Structure 1
Amino acid sequence: MALDPELIVALDERAQQIGMQIGWDLRFITAPNPEYVGVTAAAIDRNDDSVNHIFVIGPSEISKGAVENIRSTLDHLVSGIRRIVLDEDGDPRLM
């Protein structure tokens, strides 16, 4: 079961808005298998200064509540209950 394209756009816009509020470049994306979705955060590769998006939520299966989990986690990020930090390799991780 793939998501409606309008819902994908709405979730991506919400992730981007929350990302701006918390200082991260967040994106809601579908995996190559459209039954899986997640949220990525941008990380800068110090070796070549390129920007790479790394999953911080998911990818998770839509039929197992992925969208509801993502909405909840985005709420927690904006409220400060959860946060994204850089790990020892400089990759973003959800805490």
Structure 2
Amino acid sequence: MADLVIVSAAWPPASCCPDPLAVWEKSSLRCGCPIVLCNQTGHYKRMDMTRGDSAVLSEGKCLMSYRGDPAVLLFDYDEVKRKVCSQTFEVLPC
């Protein structure tokens, strides 16, 4: 069983799935461990990622999320307890 799942995603809100976070919440509930969702930012020729969220989810709930300019997002995780300790990201602008 995994202790932590890290997802490198390129999934903006779209008409087929207006709220991708709902899918990740369901996934975190099913897998039984926290999920770290690292989404892209910016606007590309074929994809607008300006509304894409990066998030940490656990037990079916979004614990924290970020949408904005490119940044490094830091949070505390207890490896022994397999629990997210932070309630918000520390945001380091790039």
Quick check: TM above 0.5? no
Specify which structure has the higher proportion of helix: 1
- Return the structure number with greater relative CO, CA threshold 8 A, min gap 6: 2
TM-score w.r.t. the length of structure 1 is 0.29
TM-score w.r.t. the length of structure 2 is 0.29
